[in-house]
Amino acid sequence: MSLLLTCSPLPALPPTLATPSRARLRVTASTAASAPDGAGATASGFPSFLPRAVERIRDGAAIRLAKRIERVPVQTGFSGSPILSSCVRPLKQQQDADPIVLLHGFDSSCLEWRYTYPLLEEAGLEAWAVDILGWGFSDLATRPPCDVASKREHLYQFWKSYIKRPMVLVGPSLGAAVAIDFSTNYPEAVSKLIFIGASVYSEGPKDMARMPKFVSYAGVFILKSLPLRFLATCLAFNKTPTEFFDWVQIGRLHCLLPWWEDATVDFMIRGGYNVIKQIKQVKHKCLVMWGEDDGIVSSKLSYRLQQELPDAILRQVRQCGHIPHVEKPREAAKLVLEFLERDKAEKADLASSVLT
């Protein structure tokens, strides 16, 4: 089971990333003050809808990204009222390049991108970090369904309401299955795909559908427990992070919301993701990124995925575990940017050949 929970030490960031600019602070403050659900910021600058445990986090990158999380209304066909959905929005939108939308892994949140997001933003990309329905920090007080079809529709309606043009969709771990399912159902919403440590060859937790519900809730209770989170941290990284407990707290912060258990059980008893047959249906250009020392999803599967995708390149990150965008954020950002630049160069060459 892939748990995207924590992060490893990050080398000192450039001053522009280590300290947010005044302009960035102004934008963040204004969006927090006008949050659609009426939730402003706390005295410490965090959105008031985040669990109070956020105040105990010491990781600077996580603190900065957490303060930018907001909730926006997303209307779906399966919920009578809009779902206030959590995300990090770009400081500015641009029309001359495709936006990049960052999903996360199983039972995680947009805080998974705390190190790589600012690097992509600093490179000039219009970056969105979006919480998948059922996880992250969205308001699920009405207990909407959180099965695969609902996650897909929710992401589509989010895209339709706020992004509105083809996007580069990035899916790490189980987020890769989310991205494959989404892109094969809504190909017009996607321009390119990036998979990181892709968990796409599992057939989902079928047995849970036949279990009594109290057994499922017991399993989910264990999923939230600190011992399991500690174990997952050890498996997820090539080297055990030094600030271990702080990063475990970051990874389980969303689990402290009152609807987390119900949303997770709902997803798991409905069978989860099974996208094995959809892989060959993907029509977009893809980057497959993998940590060489992935202890959760074998890097051997990276070759299989590259071969089964119609148009994909493979890049491996040396001395890295399951989550390159957390353990090796600079390398991950570099590979993303190179992939996007390569595609831009190919389009320019094609246009030039047509003109000549």
Q: Is 104 designated active site?
A: no
Question: Is position 183 annotated as part of the catalytic site?
Answer: no
3-class SS of residue 170: strand
Taking residue 201's Cβ as centre, other Cβ atoms within 10 Å add up to: 16
CA distances from 201 to 185, 207, 344, 351 (A): 19, 17, 31, 38
Among the options 294, 299, 302, 325, which is catalytic? Answer: 294
Which residue is catalytic, options 154, 284, 322, 325? Answer: 322
Q: How far apart are alpha carbons 355 and 16 in whole angstroms?
A: 41
Distance CA 172, CA 167 (A): 16
Residue 134: which region, alpha, beta or left (left: phi > 0; alpha: psi -120 to 50)? Answer: left
- Give catalytic status of residue 173 as yes or no: yes
Contacts with 1 (C-beta within 8 Å, 6 or more apart), sequence order: 106, 232
Question: How far from 81 is each of 23, 65, 141, 310, CA to CA, in Å?
Answer: 34, 28, 11, 39
Residue 324: CA count within 13 A, CB half-sphere = 31
DSSP string across 71-106: EEEE--TT-SS-EEEEEE--SS--SSS--EEE---T
Q: Which of 85, 173, 183, 216 is catalytic?
A: 173
Helix axes 226-236, 244-251, angle to 10 degrees: 110
SS3 318: coil
Q: List all residues 6 or more positions away from 100 whose beta carbon is below 8 Å from its beta carbon.
A: 120, 125, 126, 127, 128, 167, 168, 170, 336, 340
The CA distance from 297 to 288, in Å, is 13
Query: Could you list the active site residues?
Result: 173, 294, 322
